[in-house]
DNA sequence: GATGAATGAGTTTTCATTCAT
DNA sequence: AATGAATGAAAACTCATTCAT
């Protein structure tokens, strides 16, 4: 029992620190943030942070893990088999667009900024997010679109294009595109229509 | 005349420095690169850099500008009126995908990493790249797809989705997706087909 | 009784801590050792150490005292009067050379490193080791060598030279001299011979 | 020429820094000295030190090298062949005893304190000081004492004992022995006599 | 204009010590 | 008495920027 209490205290302190780090990282960016900033924000001493995290970088990966867990817990993926293709696509688009609402946008920005430059984080993102997601989706997706005459090779590329479309829209959102800010809610519906039917037949 | 010669020397020196900076930034990332690294690479003294650029950050924006000019010069945008919609879309996709091949991928990575964090760079990207591109394309695109029964509001969102798709694919490429590395050349054709016709009719 | 038991517990705990400290100091050196290292080695909490010793430095002096007592207990000095000069010299040399064998070499190294820099330890060494040793030896030694025509002033210097010889050999041993490592056992015999008879008469 | 001037400036600056470091090291010891202390003492900025020395430890080895060079320059070793054995011994003892007079005593203390604990410095001391000295002396010494009926093996040990005697006396001097401080000048004469003739014949 | 030595603020990280439980 | 989390001072080292030559 005591043991469990201890561990809960440790977890709570870790979360306190990560929360503080997230706030400051979001406001100033990873590199511009100092350990002191985070300690002040958390209301603790500088050294205390190192009782819970080995380095400044560990705070970043800690935030990443936390975000991943939170997203997965809030939006559990349904088995693709229970969906038809349109529903699958709408979900595939909707999920990340909505998962990052709220605080998570700020965190996504931080992580995005480090991804191109931080090897460890990149690997984490690749193995924890992209690979599982793509792997899960590929099996179902290639089978479905095969019925519509699309080769598996192409299907896998298209899946990446769809994932990319979502990521690219997030990027533009972060960069401050006003139209997207206004119309964000419309996107899932609009995009799944576009992907299913295209821009439509030649008018002639 | 002397004045012109002077100015040419200045421009040449600036380019020499930017080229060196690009090399080192690409290899080590922006933050991990020191002014000394760049000076060594350029074969000049540290202080000389400050005769031509006000700060380390100015080197980054300088590279950004240079890259933009180079891309525009190499791939001048044709007047959209001369293209039909399929050709337009293929071009709209192809342009950035190909423009960043070669060294520019590395630079794009650097800039991408700074974008979420660097206000100045973000504004530059927004006003110099995204806004002009979207503005130019919107007029033509909304008109074209209107003929296919798509509302202008939706058309503008779709244009961002297409741009986003391209950016997202670049991001995944940077993050090391193997399939994309192999099949990069197929993308323009495949994606324009997808966007024009969708995934195809329901098989039933 | 309880009081005595209490005190025995305290002494036992102190010895436990000192033993742990000695192990870690010997392995890593004084400055490179952390209180946590010692606590881990002793299987206790960091804070507990401070219930028994006032500071990290106090651990060092504690070890010093312990070592001194142990050496004295193991090798009680016989009354010089019971020895003739050759036996006295052999003993005077032998004692420190052998006393430090084993773990104590490592501790001697640590203490030696702190001696030049640590005032408190230096005083301790001077008053607890050198002064008593020299004082005890001087009375006997000056009287003995007076019979051989050596002035008391010179005798006292010579005594220091002999003590120095031993210390210097220990130093060289610590510094890694291979010959000494191999022939360590020969030293007492060889040196007492040298001191008594010198290098021998001029061959001519 | 300009090149030479540059290099002279660099050498001068290095010496300035080493001199400052020696002063502060001698006063406070190596570990208790901060880079800031040294910078203040030298009248320069902290960072400047790192333009000339890679680390704090490099300052220590720098001092060591400087001391070695200075000692060698001031007391060039004569070829042993030009000396008879008594002269050789007196010189062998005298040299280090006198070389360390003055500032060098303080430096020797610093180095002595680090020797047992600092691998790099220990190697330096071994290869630069002890090995060459012993090597040079051994050839001559073993040959000489062979004529007096001493085996080469023993001769080599005796040589170390003599060197040790000197080092041990230095150690006692550093530890504050008062008699040695007063009578320091007598030592070479007294010790060479002792070594050559021993304590004298048994009075009976 | 070019140089590169000097600067010193700023950063992460460590660790002896304290003290509430 | 034992604990070990919290503390925060301290320290080595880096590097963008300046400026005298």
Q: What is the largest CA-CA distance in chain A?
A: 77
Average pLDDT over chain B reads 89
Closest Cβ opposite residue C150 in set D164, D186, D199: D199
* pLDDT (mean) for B74-79: 74
**Residue C42 CB neighbour total at 10 angstroms:** 19
Q: Do chains C and D touch (3 or more CB pairs under 8 A)?
A: yes
Is pLDDT at C1 greater than 80 in this prediction?
A: no
Is pLDDT at D158 greater than 90 in this prediction?
A: yes
Higher pLDDT, C10 or D175: C10
Which pair of structure tokens corresponds to residue D35? 């880079």
Nucleotide nearest to B33 (CA to C1'): F15
**Residue A193 CB neighbour total at 10 angstroms:** 17
Is pLDDT at C55 greater than 60 in this prediction?
A: yes
The answer to whether the beta carbon of residue A50 comes closer than 7 angstroms to any atom of strand F is: yes
- Residues A46-68 have pLDDT tens digits of 999 999 999 999 999 999 998 88
Lowest mean pLDDT segment, chosen from A137-146, B77-86, B173-182, D136-145? B77-86
DSSP states along chain B = -HHHHHHHHHHHHHHHHHHHHHHHHHHH-TTT--HHHHHHHHTS-HHHHHHH-SSHHHHHHHHHHHHHHHHHHHSPPPPGGGS-HHHHHHHHHHHHHHHTTTHHHHHHHHHHHHTTT-HHHHHHIIIIIIHHHHHHHHHHHHHHHHTTT--HHHHHHHHHHHHHHHHHHHHHHHTT-HHHHHHGGGHHHHHHHHHHHTT-----
**Residue D2 CB neighbour total at 10 angstroms:** 6
**Residue A15 CB neighbour total at 10 angstroms:** 13
Residue C42 CA to residue B91 CA, distance in Å, equals 72
| pLDDT for the residue C136 | 87
Q: What's the first-to-final CA gap in chain D, in angstroms? A: 76
Lowest mean pLDDT segment, chosen from B40-54, B100-114, C147-161? B100-114
Query: pLDDT-derived band of residue D117, with 50, 70 and 90 as boundaries?
Result: confident
Is pLDDT at D77 greater than 80 in this prediction?
A: no
- Scanning the structure block, which residue is given the tokens 């400087």? D66
| pLDDT for the residue A41 | 96
Cβ proximity of C65 and C125 under 8 Å: no
C85-99 and C187-197 are packed helices; what angle lies between their axes, rounded to 10 degrees? 140
Higher pLDDT, D199 or D16: D16
| pTM for this prediction | 0.87
Q: Please, where are the H alpha helices in D29-130?
A: 35-42, 46-52, 56-74, 85-99, 103-114, 119-125
Is pLDDT at A204 greater than 70 in this prediction?
A: no
The answer to whether the beta carbon of residue C189 comes closer than 7 angstroms to any atom of strand E is: no
Query: pLDDT-derived band of residue C204, with 50, 70 and 90 as boundaries?
Result: low
Residue B114 CA to residue D114 CA, distance in Å, equals 46
* pLDDT (mean) for B134-140: 90
Average pLDDT over chain A reads 89
Interface touch B179/A157, C-beta < 8 Å: yes
Instruction: Please name the helix (run of DSSP H) or strand (run of DSSP E) that holds residue A6, with its range, or none.
Output: helix A2-28
Distances in Å between the alpha carbon of A162 and those of A97, A151, A192?
12, 16, 10
Lowest mean pLDDT segment, chosen from A96-100, B132-136, C169-173? A96-100
Which pair of structure tokens corresponds to residue C31? 């400055």
- Residues A109-135 have pLDDT tens digits of 888 888 888 888 888 998 998 888 899
- Residues C79-137 have pLDDT tens digits of 777 888 999 999 999 988 888 777 778 888 888 888 888 888 989 998 988 888 899 89
Interface test with B, best of A119, A157, A182 (most B CBs within 10 A): A157
Nucleotide nearest to C13 (CA to C1'): F1
Residue B51 CA to residue D110 CA, distance in Å, equals 46
Cβ proximity of C30 and D32 under 8 Å: no
Which pair of structure tokens corresponds to residue B171? 């991001």
Distances in Å between the alpha carbon of B89 and those of B68, B82, B157, B188, C165?
21, 13, 15, 9, 92
Residue A162 CA to residue A166 CA, distance in Å, equals 7
Interface touch B196/A198, C-beta < 8 Å: yes
Q: Give residues 145 to 204 of B whose Cβ lies within 8 Å of A.
A: 145, 147-150, 153-154, 156-158, 160-172, 174-177, 179-180, 183, 186-187, 190-191, 194-201, 203
Which residues in chain C are contacts of D104 at CB distance < 8 A? none
Higher pLDDT, A94 or D73: A94
* pLDDT (mean) for C174-192: 91
Which residues in chain A are contacts of B181 at CB distance < 8 A? none
Query: pLDDT-derived band of residue D204, with 50, 70 and 90 as boundaries?
Result: low
Closest Cβ opposite residue D160 in set C30, C126, C179: C179
Higher pLDDT, D78 or D47: D47
| pLDDT for the residue C150 | 92
The answer to whether the beta carbon of residue B36 comes closer than 7 angstroms to any atom of strand F is: yes
Residue B197 CA to residue B189 CA, distance in Å, equals 12
Residue B56 CA to residue D23 CA, distance in Å, equals 39
The phi and psi torsions of A116 (rounded to 5 degrees) equal -65, -15
Taken in order B55, B56, B61, B62, the sign of the CA dihedral is: positive
| pLDDT for the residue C156 | 95
């Amino acid at each position: 029992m005591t043991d469990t209490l201890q561990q809960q205290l440790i977890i709570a302190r870790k979360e306190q620190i990560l929360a503080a780090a997230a706030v400051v990282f979001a406001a100033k960016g990873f590199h511009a943030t100092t350990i002191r900033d985070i300690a002040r924000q958390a209301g603790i001493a500088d050294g205390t942070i190192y009782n819970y995290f080995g380095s400044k970088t560990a705070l970043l990966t800690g935030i990443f893990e936390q975000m991943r867990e939170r997203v997965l817990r809030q939006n559990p993926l349904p088995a693709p088999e229970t969906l038809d293709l349109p529903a699958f696509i709408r979900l595939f688009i909707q999920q990340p667009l909505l998962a990052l609402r709220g605080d998570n946008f700020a965190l996504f920005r931080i992580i995005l900024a480090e991804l191109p430059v931080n090897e460890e984080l990149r690997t984490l993102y690749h193995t924890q997010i992209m690979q599982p997601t793509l792997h899960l989706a590929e099996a179902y997706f290639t089978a479905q679109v095969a019925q519509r005459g699309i080769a598996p090779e192409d299907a896998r590329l298209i899946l990446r294009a769809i994932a990319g479309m979502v990521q690219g829209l997030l990027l533009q959102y972060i960069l401050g595109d006003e139209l997207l800010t206004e119309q964000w809610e419309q996107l899932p519906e609009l995009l799944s229509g576009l992907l299913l039917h295209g821009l439509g037949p030649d008018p002639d």
